[in-house]
Structure 1
Amino acid sequence: MKLEAEIKNIKKILVDDENFFQIPDYQRPYSWDKENISDLIDDLLTAFQRNNDEHYFCGSLVLVDNKSDNRYDIIDGQQRITTFTIIACVFRELFGVSLGKKASKYISNSIQDEYEEDKRKLKFLTNEKYQIDFEETVLKRISFVETKNIEKTFPDNKYLQNAHYIRQFLKERVEQDNINIEDFVIWFYESVVLTSITCPSQDSAIQIFNVLNDRGMPLSSIDILKSTLMSKLSSKEDRTAFKTKWELINSNLKFSELEIDNMLNTYLYYKISSNPKNRLDKELIDVFTKEEKSSLEIIKEISDFSDAFILMSNQEDKYIYCLRYLRHKIYWNSILTTAIFEKYSHIEKLKELMVAYYYQNWVAGATVARIKQTSFNVLKLVKINAAIEKIVEEFKTNIDKYSTTKTFKESIESSSVYGRKWDRAILLLIEYFSSDEDKNNFIPLGPKLHLEHILPQTLTKTWEETFSAEEILEWTNSISNLTLLSLRKNVQAKNNSFQEKKLAYKNKDNVSTSYIITQQILEEENWNVQSLKDRKIKLLDKVYSKTLLFN
């Protein structure tokens, strides 16, 4: 058997009767989370709305034909194939009765064999529990429940968690954009494609996997953009000038520990103020063609924009520090770089509003789809130097539409702040604004930064005498019981008594903690329910002073 590579749609991969797949026992467990699901659903629906007559490429699938099991072993692509299967099951539960024969058959046959109901298209060999969870809670039937905390409701079942996220994100976008679900389901199976590579052996499959994931990549869209712009210059002197300018841009970015692809993507968002439909080079060349600018004019603008990007990225600014913790950096990056580039009149107020808006959405669990269009609208307003009141109105309209503030406050005031993706970022926001100094050093979310439970998770007798079981459940993982420590201080504090913890915070090894919010705890004589209530008020006051700006 030779290596075979082909572009295949999901219909051909999952629906066709002869294809059955399994995850080998040496593979890692399924690991996609809420953010992966949010990005995928948003990308799929955006592609369907904008380019539903084109294929949407969704990566590679590396397989080995396992003759002994009559299935294909998935060497690379298990996260996507598993997620596609979960999406099919969600389609079945949400829309099954309203879909036509074609869409319904696609869904059913991508989950199980058309003629053998118990023969599933995908199964796991990694762990018997995973297969049982997948089979009983997703493949057979999904019993959806209404819950505010999906991960807490299904702590050990990633498949069921993601089924609930898929349902949530699908329903939100379908209702918001009035999407024809019949057309979308058919498009999903017929137009979402992967590069399917079937290998003769496991060794050859792993070799292909390593090549696909190696740093040695083909010509990038940035290389194509550079080449295209240079080709439009007729004289050798102009091409030399362009090349010199390009290399200077790249050098300045690297000196600032920034990447040219991040800068150019930010520049693309500045130019089009909307979601890109194609590769960076195609999008920008289309823009430049419409503007009728020469390549030397273009490289001058890119250079000036790059300078603004570097200036924005290197600012010693508390608000920008807070924004740097956000996952979807492109939106705030493009808005603030544009503000600097266009010399926006109200940039300081703009930064305050952006921290308030993006943090409310982050803590409230909003998807990228919810913030995307508002970000583009604000970007457009900044480009025309609109009044700051217009931007306040834009943010507020979005916040009010989804009742974001209500969910934000419920999340941050809850008993389960610890373990959320934003827990350290919220405490760092409080930390930055606990000082009156204009400039602070940026604190990275690295392994040296730890969240300390003042009332420890593992209790000694002293703590159990101070707190009841109900109080422990209510307060242990709340914001008022959390503080910041360095790695060394965290190890020193351990699960000790409060007095011993204070010694570790203060002067263990003659080194005091550097965090203001932790130093403030040293003022407490004891740590009890009243201490927690008082600290909660102080912390929330600081958070709300920076985030509740749209009421």
Structure 2
Amino acid sequence: MKASEKNFGFMREENCIEVPFFQRAYAWDKEQLEQLFKDLKESYKDNKKDHFLGSVIFKQLATNAGEDSKRSLIDGQQRLTTFSLLVKVLYERLDDEDKSDYTEYLFQKPTKNKKPRIEHSKVDREVFAAVLRGDEGINHLYQNEKIFQCYQYFKEQIESEKLDFRDFLNFILESKLWVAINLEANEDEQKIFDSINTAGLRLTATDIIKNAIFAKALKIGADYEKLYKECWEAIFEVKENREFWEIEVEIGRIKRVQSEIFLHAFAVVGQFFNPEKNSLEDLSFLYKEHIKNFDNDELESFLKSIREYAEIYKNFPFFKGEALRFDEDMKRLFHIISVINVNTAMPLILFLSHSVKEQTLLNECLQVIENYIITRYVCGYDTNSYNKKFAAIVRSIDLNNPLEDLKEKLNDIPSRSELEKALEHLYLNNRAPKLILFWIELYRRYLSKDKQDLVELNYDYTLEHLIPQTWQTHWKDIVGDDEKAKNYIYQIGNMTLLKGSLNSTIKNCAWKIKLEGDGSRKNCIKKCADLLITRELLDKNEWNLQSVEERSARLIEEFFKIWKIE
């Protein structure tokens, strides 16, 4: 391995710099572009002081006799791509007779063919080449691509800047802004790649796992391009799927992209990730260890299995803010998972969805999981052990009788009396009562013979306490004291959902004003009563402790009709 301080002339040392096909797509946003451009301008204006852009790591690729040299870009493609696009924008502003001095920074020899010196990965190859060539119609074809957006950003900035463009171009090309690290053909780039990740660059576990899998395919002589195209690109990297896999999901205090959540679930299903011993930080290492001794057939089978499970996972009805209805069981389960943030259930759901072929039986199994999650959540049970619990079920469930075995393994649910008590003391947070009331509303609409009401609703209502939390001024005669307030205000029967929140001067008023308003334009319950659970309050002349108890009893019964406790 050789490292040296370089200017951008290193681009001309090799005729082609190849981004491996298994590397991730270009991903820089405006924030990173602004910072890079700002740093370069300040360096240029500050007596042309050099600014360090970081290291780029190349590996020499074996070439046949007579072929031009070629290097693989192991790390630095985001910065190198961005910098090249800035050079392209400045290059465009030169007179035609001056461009020949700079063409080789962008294009391979012979430069008249306009073949980019950086041969991008498959995801970005077409748009990068089109932008560098200046093809017609790129504004229309590639407006949503980040590479084109980067080009447009620099174009707009350069047009608005008062710079000597040729002098600025010479400065960024000739300054030693880079450290180029060159590996020989026999050196292990995987170790370098991992050490870079350990040093803190923001690479996802998906990036490292993909790199490890196809580096392994290359090493054992597998048809890695075919495997990549059929088993990885087709599911993870085609344009219509990429957005889904890049969605960020909260897991506790950290965020992971959807592809990482899937690869974790798949590893649990494959039983090479054990939550008793492993954490998410171990994920890429466990994949590398798992495939370390694979031969061609084993690696191909492994990739086909990833694709098979990924297809199932991708088609799960993850909650994205759309309208919901009661009779869509899977959507209800995934909405509950989203609200409660229990992604640790995903390995078990994925495993059952793959293994239980009969749809009715699968639905019944998923209902057991839903009952388990929601009832324990209402009672405030700790969810930290779920990853171990669900993974253990994946390893041991009897697929000949999955429903009964699942009920047996998930039998540590609250009793009916414990749930009733919990539903009368929902003061821990507002998520539980809002979630429960929303699904009770959809349940009522599902059962209703009057189909004038929509059977589907968006989850965008505001939770309201009928006897207000600030009760001392207008409700003292009804509530009495702090102990009663705690016992009644946080019962499910004292809560409803409104289409719009109430102003504090209204929400804390006596019942009649809170219900009907004070003649102002401020919201009151009647103005926001879109739901059946709220409309039933409109004919109430008063609201007191007995009203709360009676309504709680009705809502609790409906809770048990939705989430059956056996």
TM-score by length of 2: 0.50
SS of the equivalent of 2:236 reads helix
Q: How far does residue 532 in structure 1 lie from its aligned partner after superposition?
A: 0.7
Structure 1 residue 412 corresponds to structure 2 residue 428: no
* Contact 2:514 2:525 (8 Å CA) reproduced: no
Do the aligned partners of residues 237 and 378 (structure 1) sit closer, same or farther apart at CA in structure 2, a change above 3 Å counting? closer
CA distance in 1, matches of 2:421, 2:292: 49
Secondary structure of residue in 2 paired with 1:452: strand
Question: Are 1:336 and 2:349 matched, yes or no?
Answer: yes
Calculate the aligned-residue CA RMSD, in Å: 3.9
Is 2:242 aligned against 1:229? no
Structure 1 letter corresponding to 2:553: I
State the partner residue of 1:243.
Answer: 228
State the distance in 1 between where 2:222 and 2:370 align: 46
Separation of aligned partners in 2, 1:509 and 1:413: 22
Question: Is the aligned partner of 1:320 residue 2:334?
Answer: yes
Post-superposition shift, 1:542?
A: 1.9
**CA distance in 2: counterparts of 1:320 and 1:538, whole angstroms:** 26
User: Are 1:463 and 2:475 matched, yes or no?
Assistant: yes
Distance 1:460 1:404, change over 3 A: closer
Compare the two structures and name the one with the higher helix fraction: 1
Structure 1: gaps spanning 5 or more residues: 1-211
> 1:277 is matched with which residue?
278
Contact 2:378/2:422 (<8 A) preserved: yes
Match of 2:394 in 1: 379
| Partner AA of 2:463 in structure 1 | L
Which amino acid is 1:297 matched to?
A: S
Residue 514 of structure 2, aligned match among 501, 519, 542: 501
Equivalents in 1 of 2:525, 2:437: separation in Å?
25
Query: C-alpha deviations, 1:52-87, integer Å up to 9, x for none?
Result: xxxxxxxxxxxxxxxxxxxxxxxxxxxxxxxxxxxx
1:453 Cα offset (Å) = 1.1
Any conservation in 2 of the 1:450–1:485 contact (CA below 8 Å)? yes
- Matching residue's letter, 2:393: V
Residue 495 of structure 1: CA displacement? 1.9
1:364 corresponds to which residue? 379
Q: Distance in 2 between matches of 1:508 and 1:413?
A: 25
Partners of 2:421 and 2:226 lie apart in 1 by 57
Give the Cα separation in 2 of the matches to 1:309 and 1:484. Answer: 32
Is the contact between residue 498 and residue 529 of structure 2 (CA under 8 Å) also seen in structure 1?
Answer: yes
Work out whether 1:480 is the aligned partner of 2:484: no
Q: Closer, same or farther in 2 for the Cα pair 1:290/1:543, shift >3 Å?
A: farther
Structure 1's 364 and 302: CA in aligned 2 closer, same or farther, altered over 3 A? Answer: same
Query: Residues 425 and 324 (structure 1 numbering): CA distance in 2 closer, same or farther, change over 3 Å?
Result: same
Aligned to 2:366: 351
Partner secondary structure for residue 464 of structure 2? strand
Contact 1:457 1:476 in 2 (8 A): yes
Q: Distance in 1 between matches of 2:395 and 2:294?
A: 17
Q: Alignment partner for residue 530 of structure 1, among 528, 535, 546?
A: 546
Tell me if the contact between 1:334 and 1:379 (Cα under 8 Å) persists in the aligned partners: yes
Q: C-alpha displacement at 1:217, in angstroms?
A: 2.2
Match of 2:55 in 1: none
Mapping for residues 48-447 of structure 1, pairs under 5 Å = 217-234=201-218, 238-244=223-229, 245-251=231-237, 252-256=240-244, 258=247, 259-272=258-271, 274-275=274-275, 277=278, 279-288=282-291, 293-314=297-318, 317-331=331-345, 333-345=346-358, 346-368=361-383, 370-380=385-395, 384=399, 386-396=401-411, 398-399=412-413, 407-414=418-425, 417=427, 419=429, 422-436=432-446, 440-441=456-457, 443=459
Structure 2 CA distance for partners of 1:264 and 1:450, relative to 1, 3 Å: same
How far apart are 1:230 and its partner, in Å? 0.7
Deviation track 1:391-439 (CA, whole Å, cap 9, x = no partner) reads 111111x33xxx666654433233x535366343333343343331797
Q: State the number of aligned residues.
A: 328
CA gap of 1:320–1:439, structure 2 versus 1, over 3 A, is: farther
Separation of aligned partners in 1, 2:354 and 2:438:
28
* Alignment check: 8 A CA contact 1:344 1:385 kept: no
Report which of the two structures shows the higher radius of gyration computed on alpha carbons. Answer: 2
Higher mean alpha-carbon deviation, 320-329 vs 291-300, is at: 291-300
Do the aligned residues in 1 keep the contact of 2:461 with 2:499 (CA within 8 Å)? Answer: yes
The one-letter amino acid of 1:240's match is E
Change (3 A) 1:369 1:471: closer
Structure 1 range deviating more: 538-547 or 511-520: 511-520
**Partner secondary structure for residue 223 of structure 2:** helix
Query: 1:527 offset after TM fit, Å?
Result: 1.1
- Deviation string for 1:494-529 (max 9, x for gaps)? 223323333469996996434432233224332112
- Tell me, yes or no, if the aligned pair for 2:209 and 2:284 is still in contact at 8 Å: yes
Q: Deviations over 1:225-254 (max 9, x none)?
A: 212211232499932233334234334544
Q: What 5-or-longer segments of structure 2 have no aligned partner?
A: 1-195, 248-257, 320-327, 448-453
**Which position in structure 1 is the counterpart of 2:89?**
none
- The equivalent of 1:542 in structure 2 is 558
CA distance in 2, matches of 1:474, 1:480: 11
Kept in 2: contact 1:321–1:442 (CA 8 A): no
Displacement of 1:325 in angstroms is 1.9
Q: Distance in 1 between matches of 2:440 and 2:455?
A: 15
Equivalent residue of 1:517, what SS? helix
CA distance in 2, matches of 1:318, 1:411: 22
> Offset at 1:537?
0.3
* Per-residue deviation, residues 167-223 of structure 1 (Å, max 9, x unmatched): xxxxxxxxxxxxxxxxxxxxxxxxxxxxxxxxxxxxxxxxxxxxx9xx972544322
SS of the counterpart of 2:349?
A: helix
Q: Do the aligned residues in 2 keep the contact of 1:484 with 1:515 (CA within 8 Å)?
A: yes
Of all paired residues, the percent bearing the same amino acid is 17
Residues 1:389 and 1:328: Cα distance change in structure 2 (over 3 Å)? same
Distance 1:254 1:540, change over 3 A: farther
Q: Partners of 2:535 and 2:200 in 1: how far apart?
A: 49
Residues 424 and 490 of structure 1: CA distance in aligned 2, closer, same or farther (over 3 Å): farther
* Partner AA of 2:263 in structure 1: L
In the alignment, the residues of structure 1 paired with residue 526 and residue 417 of structure 2 have an alpha-carbon distance, to the nearest angstrom, of 44
Distance of 1:254 and 1:310 partners within structure 2: 11
DSSP-derived class of the 1:312 partner: coil
- C-alpha spacing 1:441/1:269, structure 2 compared with 1 (3 Å): farther
Q: TM-score scaled by structure 1?
A: 0.51
